[in-house]
Amino acid sequence: MGCSSNPENNNDENKKKEIIETKEIIESSPPQKNDSNKLLTSKSTNILSTSLTKNTSSKKYINKKPKPYIISSIKSETNEIYILRVNASNFLKEYLIPIWFDKNIYIKFITKANWRIDRKYNYTNSNGMPSSHILGFNYGAAVARIGSGPNFLLVPNELTYFNKFEGPLYLRMNLPKNIEICPEGSMEVKIFDGTLMSIEEINSKIGWKEKSMSYSNKFSSELENKLTTDINNLRMNPILFYDTFFKGNKNMIWTQTFLKNAKNNNDNLQISPFSSNNDLYNSLKEYVKLNIDDIKKNINKKVIENYCQNLEEKIFIFLKNNFKCSSVVNCKRTKKNKSEEICIQYILDKNFRNNIFSSEYYSIAVNIINTGLLNEIFIILVLLKD
């Protein structure tokens, strides 16, 4: 990771040299349950801590799954340089790298990669695998973007990039979809002219209101909490959600007008985020537990629309008896996609999407059931009325 200068060999010339200071270890993979937005640190979650300490607590992570990336820093006389080390074997999606950039500045990257998308291919650099058959970026290319800006290639060696958008760095290894692969190797990127921030600070700066949310439930799974968070993000700032995840998707253009109207409605009514009600979640969990045999028997059938409608009605009655107030229930079998991709399905559902932006509903509970199929899950989502 980082290393400190040797005091025994210091002289006037050495004092002018860079002092390497290890910052914090960021985002284990998978994220710790119930702490998906928190940072792993030696003693605190303050990523901007400048005290020079030995990370003695890192020993307890030695035998755990390798982390997708680690950030350390070098302090020079003029600026701070961040060193991002990526482990390809766990870098299977686009990651938010918590380094913030201002707009209309030049950013310098120095990139060295020695990785491959699967063991049957040769190792390559950050350009990826040259091919005339792939539109856009090569497989294995290091693709970055800043905020809501365009994707760009982190070319090998040095790149000076003029940034027109403010925001954090997003980074991914360009991988083929729907093909089972096992990436190997690593990449190191030196990043100049940015500011290291906590995930919470970045979320606040880009417009998410997570600090005021009660979205995490200690009894929920990681995906259940993540979906709850994304639905709250969509509810509180739908335009930002669209710009962050779906701006480049031509199939989603028609939703812009709807989301703008939802945003205006939220601003005018000052709709609060859904709370994660433990009693609501536990009641939903209890119902699922009591009826799990019947649910699993039916959720893998080719046509389950009628069953879903019937199940929604039964859960509605069950919750009505328990909470003495109305709810809206949505059941769906879906692909095991990213949480934000699942979230957008609720926008496409004409019968359900208005409920997400309604101030009548104040609590949310999400229960996800494994179907037994490799790439599918069954989701029961409940919104409780005030």
Give me 173's structure tokens.
């290894």
The rounded distance, in Å, linking the Cα atoms of 26 and 24 is 6
pLDDT at 313: 94
Q: What is the CATH number of domain 210-385?
A: 3.40.33
- Show the tokens assigned to 1: 């990771």
Beta carbons within 8 Å of 99's beta carbon, 6+ residues apart: 71, 82, 84, 168, 169, 191, 194, 195, 196, 197
- Running along the chain, 386 residues long, what does each successive block of 10 average in pLDDT? 39 42 36 31 28 32 61 81 92 87 95 94 92 71 88 94 92 84 94 89 75 59 87 83 71 68 70 79 92 91 86 93 88 87 83 84 90 88 86
Q: Collapsing DSSP states into helix, strand and coil, what is residue 180?
A: coil
**pLDDT value of position 216:** 60
Can you give the pLDDT at residue 112? 97
CATH class of 7-205: mainly beta
Q: CATH 3.40.33 occupies which residues in the chain? A: 210-385
Domain with CATH 2.60.120.430 in the chain: 7-205
Whole-number pLDDT of residue 215: 56
Q: Which of 101, 74, 91, 97 is nearest to 126 (CA)?
A: 91
First-to-last alpha carbon distance for the chain, in angstroms, is 50
Give pLDDT, residue 264: 74
Could you tell me the two tokens for 121?
């291919």
Between CA 359 and CA 385 the distance in angstroms is 9
Residue 186 pLDDT: 95
Radius of gyration of the chain (CA): 23
Bond into 30 cis (ω within 30): yes
- Tokens 């990681």 correspond to what residue? 222
230 in the Ramachandran plot: left (φ > 0), alpha (ψ -120 to 50) or beta?
A: alpha
